[in-house]
Chain A
Amino acid sequence: MTLDFSIILEAWPAFLSGMGLTLKLLVLSLIGAIALGTGLAAMRLSPNWFVSTFASSYVNLFRTVPLIMAIFWFYFLIPLLIGRPVGALTSALVALIFFEGAFFSEIIRSGIQAVPRGQFAAGLATGLRPRMVMQSIVLPQAFRAMIPGLLTQSIIVFQATSLVYVVGLSDFMTTTVRIANGSGRIVEVYLFCAATYFVLSYGASVVARYLERRLNR
């Protein structure tokens, strides 16, 4: 068979808008998931048994459920809870945030635990409240150590956004499938799709490794 990649150029605007949605999903879900993950990590380290058990149950729940299941859950649950349809984008975004928040919380927790205990005690000794110590002393140090881990998880989220295909959102993956089926140039279109994901993920992983080496020096 002969390969003819002209279909990629023909469908370029569709690919671009698909990648636009993928990146939008990535950025919004990262912001939400890191915020949620930070909250969950702080809760897990809380001396209050109820709070820490809630957070660890949350994390364990989402770690043993497939992301597709979470996407379908929120797709049906959110409209039911708030009483009106919200669209696939919102529900997929909420699913990604709730799901990935559990994974980010584990990275953030280990980062917080890497900060020497004395830092917390010293912060308290200066008269700051526990919340302020967490915010201004522990978290800034913890985040520096976490950067490579956060970046690696972000690459996983980038790849995971492709699963919004199951609710038909026009992200890069769904766009690829549509163009492949519409044009019949299945081989070229899927290879282009895989190459695009590869270049972006691999590029980001090289940056992550570089940061890791620099932070370890």
Chain B
Amino acid sequence: MNYSWNWGILFEAPYAEWLLSGVAWTIGLFAASMVVGFGVGTGIGLMRIAPIRWLRIISGIYVEMFRNVPLLVQIFIWFYVMPELLPSDVGQWLKRDLPMPAFWTSVVAIGFYTAARVAEHIRAGFLAIPAAQMQAALATGLNLRQVYRYVLLPRAFRIVTPALTSEAISVMKNTSLALTIGVLELMAQSRQIESYTFQSFEAFTAGTAIYIALCAAVVFVARHIEARYAIPGMIQSR
């Protein structure tokens, strides 16, 4: 192997700043996509199990559409196709006046893609709750809304926490796709440092290590949430 090492490059200007700003963009993408993905996903998941037929059909179509098209294709469609399909003044606004268009497009694309997957987890969580729970809750005099709010939803969320944790890790990894439309997140910055310095090994190692650390942080927070909201007396995953 013929390679000249230079780990110091990672701590020199401007490369250290590039990495840091890449991390900041990645965290921003992650946070915003999580809000969209988990918010929309919960809504779609509730529609999937609603006692109203057309809600189930619409949400089913949503899930299949967003699950069966690669995320990269979805990002390109939001970025290049959407402005053309929308009414021309909205399209113009998207193209010209929206601040940070690539960032927000990535957030929408990753968020809506994640929502389809979150919805399926939530639905599975609901189906895992014994039907007697709902009957018992209704029997205590709660109305349907209260049953969902105080009995079913809290249980379903606890059941699916492990699945949602791995979904959150997927979101972290998926933020790297934003590089294809020009968001200078962590992956893009690692690549940029590589092409400026030819220190590929160092650049990619730094990027990889940071992704691992970010994912570890997600798992740490998720474990904390899981333990914090655990129902006493239930079997916990350790």
Contact = CB atoms under 8 A, between A and B. Distances in A.
A66 B176 CA distance: 7
Interface string A189-201: 0110110011001
A92 to B, nearest CB: 14
Given A81-B1, A166-B180, A190-B81, A197 B69 contact: yes
Contacts of A180: 80
Contact of B187 (A66, A162, A201): A66
A79 to B, nearest CB: 10
Nearest to B176: A66
A186 B1 CA distance: 44
A177 B80 CA distance: 10
Nearest to A199: B68
Given A81-B1, A187-B84, A202-B64, A64 B215 contact: yes
Nearest to B216: A64
A35 interface: no
A2 to B, nearest CB: 12
B179 interface: yes
Interface stretch (A38-46, A67-75, A119-127, A133-141): A67-75
Nearest to A67: B173
Contact of B69 (A68, A163, A201): A201
Contact of B179 (A68, A173, A201): A68
Contact of B204 (A72, A163, A205): A72
A217 B1 CA distance: 55
B212 interface: yes
Contact of B65 (A155, A198, A205): A198
* Majority SS at the chain B contact face: helix
Nearest to A205: B68
Contacts of B169: 63-64
A177 B75 CA distance: 12
Contacts of B80: 180, 186, 190
B73 A80 contact: no
Contacts of B65: 198
Interface residues of B, number: 40
Contacts of A193: 73
B105 interface: no
B112 to A, nearest CB: 13
Contacts of A197: 68-70, 73
Interface of B: 1-3, 64-65, 67-74, 76-77, 80-81, 84-85, 169, 173-177, 179-180, 187, 190-191, 194, 200-201, 204, 207-208, 211-212, 215-216
Given A68-B187, A69-B176, A72-B204, 5 more contacts: A66-B177, A68-B179, A80-B200, A159-B70, A190-B76
Interface of A: 1, 61, 63-69, 72-73, 76-77, 80-81, 83, 155, 159-160, 162-163, 165-166, 173, 176-177, 180, 186-187, 190-191, 193-194, 197-198, 201-202, 205
29 contacts: A64-B173, A64-B211, A65-B208, A66-B174, A66-B211, A67-B173, A68-B187, A69-B208, A72-B187, A72-B204, A73-B208, A77-B200, A80-B1, A80-B3, A159-B71, A162-B70, A163-B177, A166-B180, A173-B70, A173-B73, A186-B80, A190-B77, A191-B81, A193-B73, A194-B74, A197-B68, A198-B69, A201-B67, A202-B68
